[in-house]
Chains A and B, each alone.
Chain A
Amino acid sequence: MTSPAEHTRLQAVDGPFFGDFGGRYVPEALVAALDGLTEAYDKAKVDPEFHAEIERLGRDYTGRPSIITEAPRFAKHAGGARILLKREDLNHTGSHKINNVLGQALLTKRIGKTRVIAETGAGQHGVATATAAALLDLECVVYMGEEDTERQALNVARMRLLGAEVVPVTSGSRTLRDAINEAYRDWVANVDTTNYIFGTAAGPHPFPTIVRDLQRVIGAEAREQMVALGGLPDAALACVGGGSNAIGLFDGFLDDPEVRLIGCEAAGDGVETGRHAATLTAGRPGVLHGSKSVILQDGEGQTVPSHSISAGLDYPGVGPEHAWLQAIGRAEYWPITDSEAMQAFALLTRTEGIMPAIESAHALAGAIKLGKELGPDATLLVNLSGRGDKDVEQAARWFGLHPEDDA
């Protein structure tokens, strides 16, 4: 076979634009900071020392490579397909978010800034940022929607114990989107000292590229592991909030057209109810939070509030690379409702003794559907992006198992 020309490789597409999506739509006040970050990142990218440091932290701190676990008892409920889990939940701090944060925190040191800010939904990105700040001696402020501080109270306490300041955001929908707005406001005012560690593969250039590159390790490891286990999967599935764990997984298989890529979005109460966060299913192109992508919006361009049981997926936007992969037909995006995700959550917990994050449970629910469709010959790779510890209280309430329910 002749090797395809480098420019036809999807993996080589690097931003600022992914097809029609991406770019940098930001206030002038932030342009200098984004230019500085781009420049620092371009230098770091070709610096072996930077890569060695990321690799060292990945191995000695995060616990990489993350293992792959086969889930045969779970798979019985998914048409008997072979189901393999990429265990990002076993990473230090409990999710894939740490992969991105360590790299961006190192970059912060390189540009000589001493303070980091972050937005967080489920709290996993906030916890990871607070952790990296503790490790690398940075001041850390995390913005979190007030509704999310309530449903993810445990993570608020974790961040505070790690020495971060957590600021509950009371404006707008009081969720992830408003936390991002507030982080931007902080950044505009404090850009001299402060780097914004963005938590997902969205936002203005260079964030979608940096976050994708730092999460790429998921797909790179998984591809090698799959080959060692007998071959590439028929499909790779991941949940999609802003899209960082999904792009990290997909990236490894972008140029393997035989591998279906399926992103599982939060359909909340159901797409037809309007109470959902299924951006790529029900959104239209527009500009939100600094890039052109697909967003949930009304006819005038006002962002529509999203809804999901999962704080980490409760976002009316999505990263531009996903909008592009959908537009060119390389990836599919499926809506998964709250109750489908919670069923998958319970199923994995009961059949395999692995409690997933509610976010990741959306990808598991996608695997159940696809497994039933494809049957026992199929091999499905699912990114288990995080563990469910933070969701115990919420899940217990959902299933009526909370101690307070005994009363």
Chain B
Amino acid sequence: MSALTAAIDAAKAQGRAALIGYLPSGFPNAATSHRALRAIIEAGVDIVEIGPPYTDPVLDGPVIQQATAAALASGVTMADTYAAVSVVRDAGAVPVVMSYYNLMLQRGLDTFARELVDAGAAGVIAPDVTPDAAPEWVEAADAAGLDHVYLVAPSTTAERLALTAQASSGFVYAASLMGVTGERASVGEAAERLVADVRAAGAERVCVGLGVSTGEHAAQVARYADGVIVGTALVKCLFDEDEDAAIAAITEKARELRRGVEGHVEAHA
């Protein structure tokens, strides 16, 4: 059993969904981003997705685009991602990397997989490639002992749900809606149905992301999914130029989400 599936199962054993947070590496700078990683883990995030910034993030909305563009402009490289992976591991959470495909390809798929394992990563989420398009990545990841997580979307056909469930290890990432990353007022209605369908197609563990922004959303998703994935709502906190305020805000957001996955719905004022 991989570290990733173990973390999801451990959460389940506690009667809750796993909480998965996303942060881009090196934003707003290496030191603050490491502090933020430790803070959200301390606040109860089980699994952390580290995103190496990429110049053409077609699946990201404005907030993550802005954060990753700033990180790139400040000179962040893949080495910063590896460093962040190790920070997550040392803080006691499970690191996975969410990377656009060309960055993986240029590193060399085998090299990338080995380097990630050395840094302590448990898996990779490749959002802009499907398993049938690049079976060579599945091979490289398997050879290194790395989980390969793939996405399904509300538009995914029954045939492809089966294919993706079969090709994924760790978990299947169910996109709650058709669209890019970013906060939403509510969780897409299609999500619950999609989770049921992908389970029926053979997926053992299914986590839901895209648009999950509040503790309330997290609680709602936690009722039917094995994990709740939150990106933009966390990243947004790091735009505060006062570092201590940013860390306080992201800590509070992570706690709110943790209470959500535990099923404690916040009473809204």
Which A residues are closer than 8 A to B by beta carbons?
23-33, 35, 171-172, 177, 181, 184-185, 188-192, 286-289, 295, 297, 299-303
> Which residues of B have CB within 8 Å of A171?
65, 69
Closest to A205 in B: B133
Verify B106–A181 contact, CB threshold 8 A.
no
Flag if A172 contacts B69 (CB, 8 Å).
Answer: yes
B239 within 8 A of A: no
Closest chain-A Cβ to B124's Cβ sits at a distance in Å of: 15
Inter-chain CB contacts under 8 Å: number: 107
- Of all chain A residues, the one with the shortest Cβ separation from B54 is A302
Residues of chain A with a CB closer than 8 A to B59's CB: 27, 185, 188
Among listed B40-48, B150-158, B251-259, interface-contacting one: B150-158
Q: Is the CB of B105 within 8 A of A184?
A: no
Given contacts A27-B127, A27-B151, A27-B153, contact A286 B175 (CB under 8 A): no
Interface residue B77 (Cβ < 8 Å from any Cβ of A): yes
B142 at the interface (CB under 8 A from A): no
Residue of A nearest to B181 (CB): A185
Of all A-B residue pairs in the complex, the 6 with the closest CB atoms, nearest first, are A301-B106, A29-B153, A189-B179, A301-B102, A303-B55, A184-B58
Tell me if B's interface is mostly helix, strand, loop or mixed: loop
Decide if B106 touches A28 in the complex (CB within 8 Å): no
Would you give the shortest CB distance from A131 to chain B, in whole angstroms? Answer: 27
Q: Size band of the B side of the interface?
A: 35 or more
Residues of A within 8 A of B155 (CB): 28-33, 191
Closest beta carbon of chain A to B72's beta carbon, Å: 7
Cα(A24)–Cα(B160), bound, Å = 15
Contact of A299 with B106 in the complex, beta carbons under 8 Å: yes
How far apart are the CA atoms of A177 and B61 in the complex, in Å? Answer: 16
> Which residue of chain B has the shortest Cβ distance to A204 in the bound complex?
B133
Q: Does B56 contact A (CB under 8 A)?
A: yes
Contact B130 A32 (CB under 8 A): no
B150 to chain A: closest residue by CB: A28
Contacts A181-B56, A286-B105 known; A188 to B133 CB distance under 8 Å?
no
Which residues of A sit under 8 angstroms from B179, Cβ to Cβ? 185, 188-189
Main secondary structure of the interface of A (DSSP, over half): mixed
B200 contacts A by Cβ under 8 Å: no
CB closest chain-B residue, reference A35: B157
Within the complex, the shortest CB–CB distance from A20 to chain B, in Å, comes to: 12
Within 8 A of A (CB), among B117-155: 127-130, 133-134, 150-155
- Compute how far the CA of A158 lies from the CA of B129 in the bound complex, rounded to whole angstroms: 37
Q: Counting CB contacts under 8 A, is B180 at the interface?
A: yes
Smallest distance from the beta carbon of A391 to chain B beta carbons, Å? 27
Q: In the docked arrangement, what's the CA distance between A303 and B54, Å?
A: 8
Closest chain A residue, CB of each to CB of B180: A185
| Sample of 18 more A-B contacts, CB < 8 Å, known A26-B133, A286-B106 | A25-B134, A26-B128, A27-B128, A27-B130, A29-B151, A29-B155, A181-B58, A184-B58, A185-B59, A185-B180, A188-B178, A192-B178, A287-B101, A287-B102, A299-B106, A300-B77, A300-B106, A301-B106
